[in-house]
Each structure stands twice: as structure tokens, then as C-alpha cells.
Structure 1
Amino acid sequence: MTKTPTDQALFEAAEAVRARAYAPYSRFTVGAAILADDGNIYAGCNVENAAYPVGNCAEPSAIAAMLAGGGKRIKRIYVTGPGTMPVTPCGGCRQRIREFADLDVEVISHGVEGEPLVCTLEQLLPHSFGPEYLPK
């Protein structure tokens, strides 16, 4: 995959925040960077906790930063982690991304020692349930 300038900026933001991840238990650091509808890049990292269920993944951390910064919709998201295998969002994070992204939004998953995987959200979360199913 040849990185566009946007993808390079997202990769660099994800890697910069991944360096600040708090992962003393798994030692599996993850960074995520979002290009939002306001044109800004928002990043987040994973934050573990001794009580495992109360930790945060990188993707919802980036989503929270986006919302706090004034962005409303994800236009592109880049996730980085260690190793050669693409670090794809977990199931819960895929659903969180779904809340703020259209199904054709590309999710780049990258184990930084390997090649990135580019998939649409629909490919990562087929037959998904989204906000449009709920009454307005």
C-alpha cells in the first residue's frame, strides 16, 4: 500500500499516541487516528486498568477526542499496533466506529512491522446494526 499524504499523517498521529499508551498488563500498545468531518485529525491510545473490563481501547479514545474537539463523523481511521499482522479493531470498537462512520469509510489496520490492511467498515462489520434502525 502506498500511503497518501493523509494516510501518512494519520499513521504518524497513531504512532505518536501509541507511544503514550498505558498497557502495563498486555504490553500490547495500540494507537488510533481519525480524520474527522471537520478536517482535523484526532488520536487516541489504549489505556489498561488492573480491573480489565474498565480499560479503554484506542479507537473509542480517539472517538472521544474527536467529539471533544468538535468533530462529529469519522471520514477515515488508521489503527496501529505491534507486530506483522494487521491490528484490526475488536468487535466492540467496530460497533463504536459504526456509530460515527458511514459503511464505506475505510479502516486501515496496521501491525507496523507488516503491511497495512485496508477495509471498509462494512467489510469489517457486515450486516451491522446502526443508529438508522432506531426510531427518531
Structure 2
Amino acid sequence: MTTLDQLFETAKSARERAYAPYSDFKVGAAILTKGGKVIAGCNVENAAYPEGVCAEGGAISAMILAGETEIAEVVVVGDAALCTPCGGCRQKLKEFADGTVKVHVADLFGIRRTFSVAELLPAGFELK
């Protein structure tokens, strides 16, 4: 199994655990860290909509908790063929990934398109 296959399967599995009773739109994400760890996240909705957590944000939080701070690659699996990260998640990814990092977007059957972080957020905010 390739690393990309592992990321896809991890994101797909995370999607199954998502908590989406309001939208019924489940999303899973898997991050490969520069340190070689694979970390997953899923969306978690809340009755105080839109105060939920996106899959990418959940994975980033878990990555930080695991002691990692740099993203090497990302897979996002959703119920749509082109479930790209939302604007907020694009900025969150930019915080921990350089512009060349690949973000693979997938549905349940496989990867449909690949973007770089810079393509998803060409003029992202930076304090550095």
C-alpha cells in the first residue's frame, strides 16, 4: 500500500466516524506529517450551527497534540466529488504547510483532484 493509499483509507475511515446529524454531510481528513505520522480528523457538527469542527481542523488539532507541526500531504474525503477544504481550513492548512504541499480531494471511490496549498489559497494571510 502506498502512502497516498494509506492516507485515503485513513480519511475514508475517519469520515465514517463523523458526527453530522444536521447536514448529513460527512467529511474525513488524513494528514501526513513531516515526521511521518498519519493523523486523522472528522467533521463534528453542533446544534449551535456553525460552531462545529471541520475534518481538516480536527486533524490539525490532533497533529499538534501528537507533537507535530508540519504537514507533508493531506487527503480529504467527502460525500461530493470535489469536497475541497473551506476557506477557514485552507488558512489553517497554510499555517502548517508550505505552498507546495499537496491536498488530495476524494469521494468514497478515490482521489478526484489534487491541489497545492498555494492553489487553494493563493493570497493567504501571514504574520511571519
TM-score (norm 1): 0.89
- What's the offset of the Cα at 1:54? 1.5
Which of residues 2, 6, 15 in structure 1 aligns to 2:3?
Answer: 6
Q: Say what the alpha-carbon RMSD is for the aligned residues.
A: 1.3
Q: Deviations over 1:103-136 (max 9, x none)?
A: 100000112246521010101111222242xxxx
Unmatched runs of 5 consecutive residues or more in structure 1: none
Would the aligned equivalents of 2:104 and 2:111 in 1 still touch at CA under 8 Å?
no
CA offsets per residue over residues 75-128 of structure 1, 9 Å max, x none? 000000113x22100001000101110010000011224652101010111122
Residue identity in the other structure for 1:73: E
In structure 2, C-alpha distance between the alignment counterparts of 1:36 and 1:125, rounded to whole Å:
20
**Which of 36, 40, 48 lines up with 2:37 in the alignment?**
40
Report the Cα distance in structure 1 between the residues aligned to 2:79 and 2:22, rounded to whole angstroms.
15
* 2:50 alignment counterpart: 53
**Does the C-alpha gap of structure 1 residues 19 and 35 become closer, same or farther in structure 2, counting only changes over 3 Å?**
same
Specify whether residues 69 and 121 from structure 1 end up closer, same or farther in structure 2 by C-alpha distance, changes over 3 A only.
Answer: same
Residues 51-73 of structure 1: per-residue CA shift (max 9 Å, x gap): 11210000000000101111110
- The letter of the residue matching 2:14 is V
Bigger radius of gyration, 1 or 2? 1
SS of residue matched to 2:19: coil
Q: What does residue 71 of structure 1 align with?
A: 68
The equivalent residue for 2:86 is 90
- Match of residue 101, structure 1, among 75, 81, 97: 97
Q: After the TM superposition, list the runs of 4 or more consecutive aligned residues in structure 1 that deviate by more than 6 angstroms.
A: none
> How many angstroms apart in 2 are the aligned matches of 1:43 and 1:125?
22
Hey, what's the Cα distance between the residues in 2 that align with 1:108 and 1:130?
23
- Aligned counterparts of 1:48 and 1:27: Cα–Cα separation in 2: 9
**How many residues get paired?**
128
% identical equivalent positions: 49
User: Which structure 2 residues correspond to residues 119-134 of structure 1 after superposition, within 5 A?
Assistant: 119-132=115-128
Change (3 A) 1:114 1:17: closer
TM-score normalised to structure 2 length: 0.94
